[in-house]
Amino acid sequence: MDYYIDIDQFFELICVTDLQPPKEVTTETALDDTGVEELIQTTTKVLYPSIEINAPKYEVLTSMIETVMNYSPDDEDSALGFEHTKDNAGFAFNLSFNTLEYYAILKQK
């Protein structure tokens, strides 16, 4: 079985999405015939995209990815397959693997 890490899903999970990017609002006004100021145009410009990362979630997920990527079974037997190896892995590997699979960060091809 081939697995891959969905980077877009990882990024989606660690980013805070309810942020409003800072904006610059410019208004143009002019005087009408009676001398009253009237609005001609309002322009809104996004100054820069706003991205905020949930640091605790980032740390936990990167630690889990490291655990899965650094795992090397002691008694790897290719004839028995990955499921046998996974079943005999330690708690940290299984927790990491199952969590990453649950949150669709680790996907099977």
> Which pLDDT does position 4 carry in this prediction?
93
> Which pLDDT does position 98 carry in this prediction?
92
Three-class DSSP category at 32: coil
Q: What are phi and psi of 107, to 5 degrees?
A: -125, 150
> Which pLDDT does position 96 carry in this prediction?
95
Residues 6+ apart with CB under 8 A from 4: 106, 107, 109
pTM of the model: 0.63
Question: Taking 80 as the threshold, does the pLDDT of residue 84 lie above it?
Answer: no
> Which pLDDT does position 81 carry in this prediction?
61
> Exposed, middle or buried, 68 (CB in 10 Å: 0-12/13-18/19+)?
buried
Q: Which residues pair with 44 in a beta bridge?
A: 25
